[in-house]
Amino acid sequence: MSPADRAAAAFKASFGVQPAGTVFAPGRVNLIGEHVDYNEGLVLPMPVRHGTAVAWGPGSDGLAHVVADDFGESDRFSLAAPGKPSDIDWRAYARGMVALAPTRPEAGVCLTIAGDLPRGSGLSSSASLCVALGRALASAAGTHVDPTALALAAQRTEHEYAGVACGIMDQMAVAAGEPGHAMLLDCRDLSYRLIPLPRDWAVLTVDSGVTRGLVDGEYNERRAQCAEAAHLLGVASLRDVEPAEFDPSALPEPIGRRAAHVIAEIARVRQAAAALETADLSSFAAILRQGHASLRDLFEVSVPQVDALVDGLQGELGKRGGVRMTGAGFGGSVVVVAQQGAARQIGERLASRAQAVYGMDEA
């Protein structure tokens, strides 16, 4: 059953009536531009096929009644004062979005949630959850919501309700992305351009099987190191540093290596967008390989199992595509961008661990 069908069935089972509507938000995979969004850099994510559905219906008691079908759990709280749970689980996101969403119904609302993104796999299940909730709240209020405003509310929810000082990439890709298109997003002003993938390319994700642990603390530490680097270099953000002018030895370690990654990674995103627009797969693949090496050696957010998976898949692909870790790191998924036949081979061989994102319909 699709998440939308499951959410609708859970609604009927929980509230005794059919939902008034069902909304969906995908997860995202980042093609290139890792750990640069919070440095006001450029990123190149795209939505995946899997995601989160929320079925919604009206209420009249001033409360939000929320059921998480994936966990068999529920929550009930005041729409006017949702409160902040001390445990960070799906309830923290639900309450955060009710508190911060651009629009919400006043009289009451019933919501059921069902998703099919593996949690901890680096495909942004939390951004998908937040954006789906925001869409459901807007529908229940009878309004439309601007995708950028929705993305910003979802990001604030991560910051204020989940304690993760994330950037804006995931939420923008989920709220404003389009299937089959990469989003060249400027995280400084949130302007973006959607670039269609060439017809003979394919994108797939492969789960490393390493569930991300301790990632929030490591993530916040990397973010603080980047801010420190910008401060020491006398710039507002690392986006302002030209690669040719950067001297990593001017900074203490490991801050110099962190900054070196960010500055070169922003340049890689520009090159990757150009390669995408000219359907130059061999240049695009080379950029993915450089990006992975930089995350492994300079930013130090990969783990040996992920490196081994990347190396193995790259060996299998040869010149037919590129592969790298994707997302915050410390486990999760890798992304493969390849010729369709090569991607299909990998998809068939890895079956349940591989998820088609684009260009593998025939698989």
Contacting residues toward ligand GLA, per CB under 6 A:
30, 34-35, 37-38, 166-167, 169-170, 327-328
**What minimum distance in Å lies between the beta carbon of 65 and ligand GLA?**
29
Pairing type for strands 181-186 and 321-325 reads unpaired
SS in 3 state form for 273-286?
HHHHHCCCHHHHHH
For ligand GLA, give the closer residue by CB, 4 or 269.
Answer: 269
**What minimum distance in Å lies between the beta carbon of 165 and ligand GLA?**
9
Burial of 343 (0-12, 13-18, 19+ CB in 10 A): buried
For ligand GLA, give the closer residue by CB, 105 or 118.
Answer: 118
**What minimum distance in Å lies between the beta carbon of 362 and ligand GLA?**
30
For ligand GLA, give the closer residue by CB, 143 or 191.
Answer: 191
170 is annotated as an active-site residue: yes
Closest CA to 55 of 68, 36, 73, 38: 68
Catalytic residue among 116, 170, 207, 216: 170
For ligand GLA, give the closer residue by CB, 147 or 167.
Answer: 167
- For CA atoms 361, 173, 324, 189, the dihedral sign is positive
For ligand GLA, give the closer residue by CB, 163 or 318.
Answer: 163
**What minimum distance in Å lies between the beta carbon of 30 and ligand GLA?**
6
Rounded CA Rg of the chain: 20
**What minimum distance in Å lies between the beta carbon of 318 and ligand GLA?**
27
For ligand GLA, give the closer residue by CB, 34 or 40.
Answer: 34
Q: Amino acid identity, residue 355?
A: Q
**What minimum distance in Å lies between the beta carbon of 17 and ligand GLA?**
36
List, by residue number, the catalytic residues.
170
